[in-house]
Chain A
């Protein structure tokens, strides 16, 4: 069995699965249960400044989007940072860390954008023995209205400034948690690096309204007839998170910056994908909130089994393996030509490929009176929509054409060489091929 032992910024944990800063890590009781279940680490629910704790609403904090059979696909929340006194949290963190020295314990922090506020809290966090801190520049609801959370994360200059303060007053790893509610994720990531951050973690939650009640016309979750946008997370946000992670992994200004990946990690496969795009650890929240802590058994066993099958012995060997394959559209090989192929033995004759192609794509699938569906190579642009809508996994595949074959759609011979948009004759900006 592959060893999942992870070293991230010098912080060791028995596996790369950390619980994200969120309700599951709000107090000693939950965190002990998580560690007993086998989680590699936790990022403690975000701490605020000394003083009267924040208050939460007393109505629904969560809203959900469901797939078939009420499978939870997306979760939205309007909960704020911890609503327990700072002192209580710090005492509990110290006790837990002392009892679980092999697990990662990170303190998430959100205090006002003033140097004094950070200077005040950081030494107290250090005293707990926590392995590092995560700066919550991500929460998009409530605290952002008070100039914290994503209000900081949306201004790269603030990120850099606060990160610098933290590095000045705290001597262990500083992780900056980024909000996805921005246009270009590379900017805040670069700001964090410039400020001296040891790593970034992303994504925090996405602004969202899960639904509108059509009787009361209140957004959900509804508090006394009104709703406010919350932060969206869960399986539905994973593609957004993967893209943002990949941008940071491959951008010149941030390449090599350690990343803790967050966003819809539900099974070992999701984790492996985040790791392959450059993450040293992954953080999980919604899956645990949906199914409980026991999912760690599948997460660890699955990742380990896959690594065994692939011959990897250490998680670090997987980190970033997919990054070289993430590129810009303009560099995609335009000489690559594929055609959809329908395996008639597997086809169950539902006709979804036909409806999709005929109504909304390229009219490249024919239908016979006895419901045989076939691809018209002379029309097929290999868009993959038929594959995506086919209910049978593996029934329709995209088969690459070989060099020298003639594409019946264009009448042109498939070329063996790589050629992209930058050299394409239709591109007014094209450079002559070397």
Chain B
């Protein structure tokens, strides 16, 4: 750690260069590779060439038979049961795991840094790609933060807030269904996989109808929503609400009493509530350990205190309890969606302040979706000031008063927090995502050490990590 360490990276692979050779930094490392653990390198015309030689394992591990049973197994980052690019380094003796270490960062795309180079509204498009199984939660938490910075939290139209809750709860169902599908597949329950993805597709169809996209919607914007519900959305959602409860009963019939499913999950990967809190674990994992901590109830936002729903909990704190909690939560989300539909009243879906409201006047054109011709005629033909205002708002964006806020909401995986800092400019000064997957993954060693190798798969699955959110 030196003060000069902020300079550009010399490892040229990730950093685009302008075609010339990267600067040589003779002070960085000796060229002969004096340390056993460092690769030596030589300079050449096309850049630095590293020479990696084999490690001297006897020197590191010592010779002898005392560790004959000790094996280090590298699982991932490319492995079907690691939910993306998660690398797990397991130290095992026979079939028993003695040490679990997780390696992340394979999906790090610098979303937080990219946001600092875009306007407040454009940042939504990046953040929605962080946790790709719950994009609307990312958008909602970020927009709630920006609205708090702007001081317009109370000005958000009622209809916009209700639709936000509606799409978030639909997405909770979709996210839990993906968990059921992938978790089931990892245990060999391919029917669970088929069922889970089948119903998730129905939710994605609904979200596509509402937002225009199956995933990465960028639908929730600072100040409200990109657009109102389309015609027919309410009917389609009601059809889904009528169908879904019997699907959930189907999952119970298929899995809840099934001997193999229970043998793999009951009393496996136990972590009690105290352990969860010490490790920062929230969401279904914490509720399956008996603590009914759900931010929708305990620190309500978006008017959740006015909805009627229960917080499912279990006491067993094992993988099976987490499965039951998630299944119950799907049913509770259906209740909330139904209440949202009942309280939808006509009205605006964007804040009235035209200095903030995104001018997304869209209509269905010949090509599916396009700008509203009436709106374009209005700004192009009748009001030069409106045109200037539109142009300024879209290119420059709005300013946000300086300060910092932290907003936390209950995502399908636990507490999703956004620490957003503004310096008073048109771009976020800093956006930090407290992603629940990132924090919950820290519990995997506690869940798996001392257990069987096969239970590592169950343990990772029961935490339900999404690597897009972990690495961001």
B is a partner of A: no
Query: Which A residues are within 8 Å of any B CB, using their own CB?
Result: none
Query: Which B residues are within 8 Å of any A CB, using their own CB?
Result: none
